[in-house]
Structure 1
Amino acid sequence: MNKNVQLQDLGSLDYKAAWEYQEELFKAVVDLKIKNRREEGDEPTPNYLLLVEHPHVYTLGKSGDLTNLLLSEKQLEAKGATFYKINRGGDITYHGPGQIVGYPIIDLENFFTDIHKYLRLLEESIILTLQEYGLECGRSDGETGVWLGVGTPFARKICAMGVRASRWVTMHGFALNVNVDLGYFDNIIPCGIRGKAVTSLNVELGVEKVDEQEVKDKIVKHFATLFECIIE
């Protein structure tokens, strides 16, 4: 089992370009697994963790409801935003500047074959990161992602999650709001959940801007510990 994970920080990248790159890596890992099984090979499958920031974009998961996008095509253009229907789980979400997006493309057979455990460890890597900033956060029953104020009238989501897995290979992942313009969430019903707010790390800390590289480093550190992997 290969427990090495290749870390790639893609900087700011158009959503479609990042999606296509994910698909390319994902397909290569799946194809290698198929080849190994057909030919009784044992070539280790690679694992990746992509970090990226996207220009303004709304994405709708395969089980999502298009009516949760509250903008017309012209209004999207006016806001400088794009829209894609994609092949992850979950409903609609927003990506944009000031948000750290993580796409783990890993072969879970290198770690464990449990998609629910995978999602919980992804959440935990964000929870532990936020706790380093003194925030009390956690999970909301029946709703993936990371939340603040769970069980209060002021529940608010700070990190959205949506993944795809095939043959135990994952893609898509998490989106943590760090220095995000929250106004862009007003144009959707985030994750199809009504009556709950969205927040950002800088808002919760009461500062103008949080060091995003510092946040990335903390996420990677906790990811490595939780998945018991070596980050390359």
Structure 2
Amino acid sequence: MTHAILPAETSHDAIEWRRSSGLVDYRAAMAEQEARNQAIAAGAADELIWMLEHPPVYTAGTSADASDLVDPRFDVVETGRGGRYTYHGPGQRVTYVLLDLSRRAKDIRQFVHALESWVIEALADFKVEAFAVPDRIGIWTRDRAGNEAKIGAIGVRVRRWVTMHGFAVNLSPDLSHFSGIVPCGIAEYGVTSMEQLGIALAPEEWDAALLARADAFLAALELSEKPRA
């Protein structure tokens, strides 16, 4: 496993943009996020946006219901993010977003909506029509049969106004691994991936699409009105 610091492609050069090759252990990544969260809040480290993949793991959010853990065939890790159970594994690209909202709009809903828009607009670059659904967490599209299906998950935590966790998009994971849980507690809809939609997409291509839209994402987090002097 290696970590690459991506070249600054946005006007926000105080953010570290990191891309990891290979698979990063989930618990190790969570511990690193915890430490970085504290350092950012203390003004001792730059903000971080980290793109990576994990070995197969089920993660439980703060609203996880044990009945949604159908077949715990992989490691199950409790996290501090919101939401219920989700799956991470090879072929699913995860982006962790550690930003200091005290420097921006201190509005968690605005932050989540900005994440949704960032993913939806990046997917559009690959001709995937994706959308958010009120009261149904995640990023949605239509599978090859025309049914609504989840292509991306979102789960965040905010501590001392510094964000943690982020979103995951299914490029080419083994979709059968999702059957061990009820993803995000939503049993009525399935999951899909870029591969299942007939789109072969390398992680580097997805990362590049996100980077190309990073300025728009960060602009969406700015204060709507600047404080008066």
Partner of 1:63: 63
Matched, 1:22 2:15: no
Check conservation: 2:71, 2:179, Cα contact below 8 A.
Answer: no
Q: Return the letter of the residue paired with 2:106.
A: T
User: 2: CA distance between counterparts of 1:221 and 1:47?
Assistant: 18
- The unaligned stretches of length 5 or more in structure 2 are 1-10, 221-229
Q: Contact 1:46 / 1:107 at 8 angstroms: preserved in 2? A: no
Tell whether the 8 Å contact from 1:22 to 1:171 is kept in structure 2 after alignment.
Answer: yes
**2:36 partner amino acid:** L
CA distance in 1, matches of 2:174, 2:191: 11
Which residue of the partner structure matches residue 5 of structure 2?
none
After superposition, the C-alpha distances for 1:17-72 in whole angstroms (9 at most, x for unaligned) are 1111111101112234xxxxxxxxxx8x6211011100000000011112211125
The aligned residue for residue 53 of structure 1 is 53
Match of 1:8 in 2: 18
Partner of 2:106: 113
Q: How many angstroms apart in 1 are the aligned matches of 2:66 and 2:77?
A: 11
Q: Is the 8 A contact 1:60 1:92 kept in 2?
A: yes
Paired with 2:55 and 2:99, the residues of 1 have a C-alpha distance of 25
Cα distance in 1 for partners of 2:131, 2:214 equals 16
CA distance in 2, matches of 1:23, 1:10: 18
Contact 2:120–2:131 at 8 Å: present in 1 too?
A: yes
**Aligned counterparts of 1:190 and 1:226: Cα–Cα separation in 2:** 26
Question: Paired residues, what number?
Answer: 207
Q: Distance in 2 between matches of 1:90 and 1:223?
A: 25
Contact 1:30/1:167 (8 A) holds in 2: yes
Decide which of 197, 200, 220 is 2:211's aligned counterpart. 220
SS, match of residue 160 in structure 1 = strand
Asked if the contact 1:126/1:219 (under 8 Å) is kept, the reply is yes
Inter-partner Cα distance in structure 2 for 1:71 and 1:144: 22
**Aligned sequence identity (%):** 33
What is the TM-score of this pair, normalised by structure 2? Answer: 0.84
Would the aligned equivalents of 1:60 and 1:66 in 2 still touch at CA under 8 Å? Answer: no
User: Separation in 2 of the partners of 1:140 and 1:174?
Assistant: 16
Compare the two structures and name the one with the higher helix fraction: 1
Q: Could you say which residue in structure 1 is the equivalent of 2:201? A: 210
* Uncovered stretches (5+) of structure 1, i.e. residues with no partner: 33-42
Instruction: Please report the RMSD computed on the Cα atoms of aligned residues, expressed in angstroms.
Output: 2.1
Which TM-score applies when normalising by structure 1?
0.83
Given that residues 122 and 223 in structure 1 are in contact (C-alpha distance below 8 angstroms), is that contact kept between their aligned partners in structure 2? no
**108-117 or 159-168, which moves further after superposition?**
108-117
Partner of 2:192: 199
Conserved? CA contact 2:101–2:162, under 8 Å: yes
SS for the counterpart of 2:213 is: helix
Matches for 1:1-232 after TM superposition, within 5 Å: 3=12, 4-11=14-21, 12-32=23-43, 46-72=46-72, 76=73, 81-149=74-142, 154-204=147-197, 206-207=198-199, 209-228=200-219
Q: Distance in 1 between matches of 2:175 and 2:92?
A: 11
State the secondary structure of the residue aligned to 2:42.
helix
- What is the DSSP-based 3-state SS (H/G/I as helix, E as strand, rest coil) of the residue aligned with 2:71? coil
